[in-house]
Amino acid sequence: MVKLVAMFNLPPGTDEAEFEKYFVKKHARDAAKIPGLRRYVIGKVAGSPAGEPAWYRVNELWFDSVKAALKAFSSQVAVEATNDLMPRVKDFTPVFIKDQEVKLPASPKKKTVRGKGGKKR
């Protein structure tokens, strides 16, 4: 699997409430119909440890492969959804990501302390 991560900002003066209504109720519903799309996650940036976030939204569109994604984005559904979105956003940056999961070390098990009568404390 591969995901296309699409990041963008809003142009100055954009009514955020109106944009959100459009993005969630129209764009995301239209984009969800892209052929070959396996998973679709829309994310609104909540903040950044570095201060001001670089992006307004970061969205994930999952496909079987880069080839499948490129084919999907040439579909009529994808072209129409993209053409409808582009005039409403700025700094649109799409990248393909192939994840590699890193196993986390197991958490140490807590010792149960028992008091008189064998009851846990």
Locate the domains of the chain by residue range. Answer: 2-99
User: What are the φ/ψ torsions at residue 8 (nearest 5 degrees)?
Assistant: -160, 165
* Lowest-confidence segment of 28-37, 41-50, 75-84, 108-117 by average pLDDT: 108-117
pLDDT digits (tens, 9 = 90+) for 92-121: 999 999 999 999 999 888 776 666 666 665
Answer whether 68's CB lies under 8 Å from 62's CB.
Answer: no
Q: What is the pLDDT of residue 115?
A: 65
Specify the pLDDT at position 107: 86
Q: Binning pLDDT at 50, 70 and 90, where does residue 11 land?
A: very high
Among the ranges given (59-63, 77-81, 104-108, 115-119), the one the predictor scored with the smallest mean pLDDT: 115-119
Fold entry, domain 2-99: Alpha-Beta Plaits (3.30.70)
pLDDT at site 116: 67
What pLDDT does residue 111 have?
72
Q: Which of 46-55, 86-95, 100-109 has the weakest average pLDDT?
A: 100-109
